[in-house]
Structure 1
Amino acid sequence: MKRHQAILELLENESYVSVSYLCDLFKVSAVTIRKDLKLLEEKGLLFRTHGGATTQNPYINDRHVSEKEKLNVTEKEAIAEVAVKLIKPNDSIMIASGTTMHALAKALNIEEQLNITTSSLMVSLELTKSPNYHILQLGGSIRHSSSSVTGHYSQTLLQNISCNLLFLGVDGIDVDHGCTTTSLEEAILNKEMINSAQKVIVLADSSKFNRKGFGKICELSDIHHIITDSGITETMAKEIEAMGIQLTLV
Structure 2
Amino acid sequence: MNPNLRQLKLLQHVHEHSSSTVDKLALHLGVTVQTVRRDLKRLSEAGLLTRFHGGVRLPNSTIENIGYRQRESLHAEGKRRIAQAVARAVPNDCSLLINIGTTTEAIAKALLHHTGLRVITNNINVASILSRNQNCEVIVTGGVVRPRDYGIVGEATVDFIRQFKVDIALIGISGIEADGSLRDYDYREVKVSQAIISHAREVWLATDASKFNRPAMVKVAELVQIDRLFTDAPPPEPFPDLLAHAQVQCDIAAA
TM-score by length of 1: 0.75
2:223 alignment partner AA: L
Give me the whole-angstrom Cα distance separating, in 2, the residues matched to 1:134 and 1:173.
32
Where in structure 1 do 4 or more consecutive aligned residues deviate above 3 Å?
A: 55-60
1:1-250 to structure 2, matched below 5 A, reads 15=18, 56=58, 58-60=60-62, 61-176=64-179, 178-230=181-233, 232-250=235-253
Cα distance 1:235–1:176, how it changes in 2: closer, same or farther (>3 A)? Answer: closer
Gaps of 5+ in 2: 1-16, 20-51
Structure whose alpha-carbon radius of gyration is higher: 1
Deviations 1:192-225 (A, max 9, x none): 0011101111100011011121221111211111
Greater alpha carbon shift after TM alignment, 222-231 vs 70-79: 222-231
Give the deviation of 1:153 after TM superposition.
1.3
Q: What is the one-letter code of the residue matched to 1:215?
A: V
The Cα of 1:229 is off from its aligned counterpart by 1.3
1:231–1:88 Cα change, 3 Å: closer
Q: Cα 1:149–1:225, aligned 2, differ >3 Å: closer, same or farther?
A: same
Asked whether the 8 Å contact 1:89–1:113 carries over to 2, the reply is yes
In the alignment of these two chains, the number of paired residues is: 200
Match of 1:35 in 2: none
**Any stretches of 5+ residues in structure 1 without a counterpart?**
1-13, 17-44, 46-54
The alpha-carbon deviation at position 238 of structure 1 amounts to: 3.3
- Secondary structure of 1:69's counterpart equals helix
Measured in 1, the distance between the counterparts of 2:247 and 2:60 equals 24
Q: Scaled by the length of structure 2, what TM-score is found? A: 0.73
Deviations 1:62-81 (A, max 9, x none): 22211210100000000000
Give the distance between the partners of 1:83 and 1:64, measured in 2 at CA.
Answer: 25
Q: Which amino acid aligns with 2:229?
A: I
8 Å CA contact 2:95–2:119 kept in 1: the answer is yes
| Change over 3 Å in CA distance of 1:150–1:15 after alignment to 2 | closer
Aligned-partner SS, 1:194: helix
TM superposition shift of 1:109: 3.5
